[in-house]
Structure 1
Amino acid sequence: MSRAPSIPRSSINDYSLDQATERREFLRAKTGVPLSAVGNYSLDPNLVNGNIENFIGTLQMPLGVAGPLKIQGEAAQGDFYIPLATTEGTLVASYSRGMRVISECGGCKTAVTRHAMQRAPVFLLGDVHVAKRFSAWLAENFQRIKSVAESTTRSGKLFEVEQYAVGNMIYTRFNYTTGDAAGQNMTGKATFAACEWIVENCPLSLKYLLSGSVDTDKKHSAMNLIRTRGKRVIAEVVIKNDVAKRLLGVDTATLFRARQISNTGSFQAGSIYNGPHSANGIAALFIATGQDEANVAESHAGITHSQLLDNGDYYWSVTLPAVICGTYGGGTALPGQRECLEIMDCYGAGKADKFAEIIAAVVLAGDISLGSAVLAGDWVSSHEQYGRNRK
């Protein structure tokens, strides 16, 4: 049985212009697709070493800007213009409308309330009695384990090891703060070093798997909704009734009644987010800024809470308990992605909390606009005018 030919690779420099061209020619010969658009780029291929393998070119993603968005946060303060990469018509316009509402109401308040990035090894013991002794030993030796883990990283700090006993196993969650990096790779390396030290130094006989899956990496979970993965961040605004009627076409009493109905529907469906559409803004912002797009799976989960105030104004908040983002590392240093971060002054050290607060504020703006559009009857008409259904 013949084997299909392998994709061309170079052991000398697999990220050269010539090597990318050779792979495109290989694909053209095999598929008949010329790949002229993919091969038309200004990026130096050597810059993507560490970001991708078998590089053949780039996809040009439409990039828009929304705003200004006024934020009165602990880390993010001022008026921000937000880069959003998307192919969905109406998205940028809708988010801009929500941002205008927030800004005309004095801005939204934001805060990061908890940091926790995990690796979750499971330790395998002989029986439940041995497992219980190991649990006590693990707690007693936390400071030594912390020292070993932190020796592998400059910015990662181990602050807690959660334990969950099941049969003769101890499931753990090693919780770290990770500075301005998202931190999945950092915590993996640190936890591996810690586990190897545990095996060598614990007087009990044990084995381990580096992931027992209770960190639920790249997946949503109730565990992370409660305990946090990445950053727990909140954005809130008080929408004035006159602003709602003027810019959104609905009054605040109608917004509040609709929120009650929507909450019931979300509860019935078992939704992991009870607001209109957190994933839209997060995905567009993540793509624009070089984040790991798979982290949208965790980051978009959350809780929308609202109150109709005595004076007729409307309190609206979004709590996102697992926002995973970074302002250095990964794809953030690529030229276009870096520029998008720089638009918001979110590139580099000391900017991760600021970026997380902006993410939550963007989600809030999008929810305000879409939730109101459904009530005002212009949800479908907007898509007809600006979106995929246009003639």
Structure 2
Amino acid sequence: MTGEEGMSRGPSFQFHNPSDAFRFVRALPDLEVQLAEVAECTSKHLRLKCLTPHVIGCFAHVLFSYTCGDAAGHNMVTIATQRACAWVLTNLADEYNIKNFYIEGQMASEKKASWGNVKVARGVEVTAWTSLSDAVCRRVLGCSSEHLYEIMQMGQEACIRNGQHGNNIDSANVLAAAFIATGQDAASIIDASWSHLTPEYDRESQKVTLSLYFPSMPVGVVGGGTRYATQQEALRILHCDGPGKKRQLAGLIAGFALALETSTAASVVNNTFAQSHERLARRASEDGRPRCRL
């Protein structure tokens, strides 16, 4: 399931004092239509959603949030915002005492883990969920549904104690593989790194319901690395190579991540986690003999 989507750029405007910065921010609602016209003329796919200002000292940081069609939109929003900011400097600098602007003031949280990307979608907001019976858990995962739930609950408590960013087991593994395979900006994995795994257990039916929420998954099915032949092939395999398939791609990646979360948790429960790494990830010793086992 997908929710909001967006892509942002966070320029900062420099003023002589904070009062001028606040005066400019108060005028932004009246300027939004004009700024949208200037920004949107750079791409037929781009639409300005909103402007979110923050005054910090003598700077007005303005988060420009857009929708970008089927593209992830990293470059698209940069070009559009540059054009809009240049228009502001040319036409409004004297009226609002603007000294200069900088295309990115670090408010967009690009390629960074931040609460900003949790509160406002940078990419596609997406949730994957499943419900597993006890019989399926025992047959496929090698553990009971209750035990699977308990280990996930235990992990949640440890995440809180450890102050971790989000609550997941290893969803970054899927993000890394899927982003590279489908031509996404690999460094933007960090934008999607916050995810929230929620286990719920029904003692009457013995079913465990699992949901994995990503507030920001910056993916696209056109532009950038999606143009390469191998990445196009991967998108075709996933049936995500056509128009309007960006949300479908985000949903598939979230689903794959939830599957890995479930599998990894089960391997911890049934004590195969270390064994699988030893068997599948390690080579034989240098003399050709298998590594010793206790």
- Give the aligned residue type for 2:256: V
Partner of 2:214: 320
Q: How does 1:21-170 map to 2 (within 5 A)?
A: 111-170=1-60
- Root-mean-square deviation (CA, aligned residues, Å) is 1.3
Higher percent of residues as helix: 2
- Give the aligned residue type for 1:294: A
Instruction: Supply the distance in 1 between the matched residues of 2:180 and 2:120 (Cα, whole angstroms).
Output: 26
- Give the aligned residue type for 1:210: I
Instruction: Supply the distance in 2 between the matched residues of 1:185 and 1:144 (Cα, whole angstroms).
Output: 21
Moved more, 275-284 or 124-133: 124-133
Q: Work out which of the residue numbers 155, 173, 186 in structure 2 matches 1:293.
A: 186
Partner of 1:211: 104
Determine helix, strand or coil for the equivalent of 2:135. helix
Q: Work out which of the residue numbers 256, 269, 282 in structure 1 matches 2:175.
A: 282
Once the two structures are TM-superposed, the CA of residue 265 in structure 1 deviates from its matched residue by: 1.2
Partner of 2:142: 249
- Give the aligned residue type for 1:286: F
| Equivalent residues of 1:273, 1:302 under 8 A apart | yes
Once the two structures are TM-superposed, the CA of residue 355 in structure 1 deviates from its matched residue by: 0.5
Partner of 1:370: 264
Partner of 1:195: 85
Instruction: Supply the distance in 1 between the matched residues of 2:215 and 2:163 (Cα, whole angstroms).
Output: 17
Partner of 2:159: 266
Q: Which runs of 5+ in 2 are unaligned?
A: 285-289
Partner of 1:235: 128
Once the two structures are TM-superposed, the CA of residue 389 in structure 1 deviates from its matched residue by: 4.8
| Equivalent residues of 1:181, 1:329 under 8 A apart | yes
Partner of 1:178: 68
Determine helix, strand or coil for the equivalent of 1:118. strand
Identity %: 31
| Equivalent residues of 2:129, 2:212 under 8 A apart | yes
| Equivalent residues of 2:51, 2:64 under 8 A apart | yes
Partner of 1:354: 248
Which of structure 1's runs of 4+ aligned residues deviate more than 3 A? none
Instruction: Supply the distance in 2 between the matched residues of 1:232 and 1:173 (Cα, whole angstroms).
Output: 18
Q: State the TM-score, normalizing by the size of structure 1.
A: 0.70
Once the two structures are TM-superposed, the CA of residue 258 in structure 1 deviates from its matched residue by: 1.4
Q: State the TM-score, normalizing by the size of structure 2.
A: 0.92
| Equivalent residues of 1:383, 1:389 under 8 A apart | no
Determine helix, strand or coil for the equivalent of 2:225. coil
- Give the aligned residue type for 1:222: W
Instruction: Supply the distance in 2 between the matched residues of 1:137 and 1:340 (Cα, whole angstroms).
Output: 47
- Give the aligned residue type for 1:280: N
Q: Which runs of 5+ in 1 are unaligned?
A: 1-110
| Equivalent residues of 1:117, 1:187 under 8 A apart | yes
Once the two structures are TM-superposed, the CA of residue 354 in structure 1 deviates from its matched residue by: 0.7
